[in-house]
Amino acid sequence: MSTDLQTRTAAQPGERARAPQGPWRSNIGLKIIMAVSGILLVLFIIAHMAGNLHVFEGREEMNAYAAGLRSFGEPLLPHESFLWIMRIGLIAAALAHIWSAVVLTRRAMVARPVRYASRKPARGESRHAVATMRWGAIVIVLFVVWHLLDLTWRTVNPVKDIHDAYGAVLATFSPERWPVTVFYLLALVALGFHLRHGIWSAVQTISGPNTKWRGRTQAISLAVAVVVVAGFAIVPLAVTFELVS
C-alpha cells in the first residue's frame, strides 16, 4: 500500500451504489411512513378511548355523543362530512401502516435466509417487541374486522339501530356473550404491547432522540399504553359485570 500523500476526491455520484428506488422506498423511508401513520393511528385510538367513556353517562349522553360525531361542523359542513374526512384519513393511515409493515417484514425475511440452529431469548432494550409486534398486529387486524362487523355495521350485533350506540355496547358485552369480552380484552393486550414499543419506536425513527430522551420516550410510551388499555378495558368489564345497565 502506498503511503504517498494524495489528494482524495469524493466518489462521483455515478460510481456510488445506485438506490433500487427512491429514498422513501428505502428501509428507513418505509420506517418513517410506518412511524408517521402509526402516530396518526395512536391519536385516533386515544380519541376513541376517551369517547367510549361517555357510556358511563348513560344512554342519552352516549347516543348524543355518537350523533354529534355525525353532525360535527353543521350547518357549516354537510351532514357526516367531518366524519368521512376523519374516516378517509384513518383508512389511509391504516393502509400506509400495514403496507410498509408488510414490505419491511418481507425484506427482513429475505435478509435472514438461514435461521440459527441455536437461539437465546432476546436481550435488547425492547426485547418484548421481537415476539409481540408482528403477531400482535395480526391479532389487531382480526379484531378490527370483528369490531367493524359488531359495532359499526352491526352485522353480528343484536342491536341493529345504528343510532343506538349505547344499546349496541350493552348488547355486545352482555354477560352471556362473555367470549366477545374475552376476545376484546385479548386484542387490548396485543394493542398494549404494540403501543408500548410502537410509540417510542416511531419517535426514534422520526426524530432520533439522544440516550436520555430515548429513555423518557420509552417511559411515556409505556404510560400511554397502560392508560389506553385501561381506558378501553373498563367499558366491556363494566358492562359484563353489570355495573352499567
Partner 1 sequence: MKLSLRIWRQPDADTPGKMVSYEIDDVSEDASFLEMLDVLNERLIAEGEDPVAFDHDCREGICGACSLMIDGQAHGPQAATTTCQLHMRKFKDGDQIDVEPWRAGAFPVIKDLVVDRTAFDRIIQAGGYISAPTGTAPDAHAVPVPKQDADAAFSAAACIGCGACVAACPNGSGMLFMGAKVAHLGLMPQGQPERHTRVLGMVAAHDEAGFGGCTNTGECAAACPKEIGLDVIGRLNRDFRKAAARAA
At its nearest, how many Å lie between partner 1 and the CB of residue 103? Answer: 9
At its nearest, how many Å lie between partner 1 and the CB of residue 206? Answer: 7
Give the sign of the dihedral formed by CA 201, CA 20, CA 95, CA 43.
positive
Q: CB–CB of 105/30 below 8 Å?
A: no
Considering only residues 106 through 145, tell me which ones interact with partner 1, judged by CB under 8 A. 107-108, 110-120, 122-127, 129-130, 133
- For residue 87, give Cα distances in angstroms to 36, 74, 92, 116: 17, 17, 8, 44
| Residue 214 is a binding residue for partner 1 (CB under 8 A) | yes
| Residue 13 is a binding residue for partner 1 (CB under 8 A) | yes
The CA-based angle 106-107-109, given to 5 degrees, is 65
At its nearest, how many Å lie between partner 1 and the CB of residue 188? Answer: 22
At its nearest, how many Å lie between partner 1 and the CB of residue 218? Answer: 10
Which C-beta is closer to partner 1: that of 32 or that of 77?
Answer: 32
Q: Which three cell numbers stand for residue 108?
A: 427482513
Site size toward partner 1, by CB under 8 A: 56
Pattern 68-107, binding to partner 1, x per CB under 8 A? ------------------------------------x--x
CA-nearest of 138, 137, 107 to 29 is 107
Give the separation between CA 236 and CA 244, rounded to whole angstroms: 10
Stretches 69-77, 188-196, 205-213, 230-238: which one binds partner 1 (CB under 8 A)? 205-213
| Residue 163 is a binding residue for partner 1 (CB under 8 A) | no
Give the separation between CA 198 and CA 39, rounded to whole angstroms: 9
List the one residue from 1, 10, 14, 179 that touches partner 1 (CB under 8 A). Answer: 10
- For residue 6, give Cα distances in angstroms to 3, 13, 16, 136, 188: 9, 21, 21, 55, 62
At its nearest, how many Å lie between partner 1 and the CB of residue 199? Answer: 11
List the one residue from 82, 209, 233, 238 that touches partner 1 (CB under 8 A). Answer: 209
Q: Is the peptide bond before 78 cis (omega within 30 degrees of 0)?
A: no
Which C-beta is closer to partner 1: that of 139 or that of 165?
Answer: 139
Please state, as a whole number, how many other Cβ atoms lie within 10 Å of the Cβ of residue 73.
13
10 Å CB burial of residue 197 (0-12, 13-18, 19+) is: buried
Q: CB–CB of 18/192 below 8 Å?
A: no
At its nearest, how many Å lie between partner 1 and the CB of residue 49? Answer: 24
At its nearest, how many Å lie between partner 1 and the CB of residue 215? Answer: 11
Residues found near partner 1 in the complex (CB under 8 A): 5, 7-11, 13, 16-20, 23-24, 26-32, 104, 107-108, 110-120, 122-127, 129-130, 133, 197, 200-201, 204-211, 214
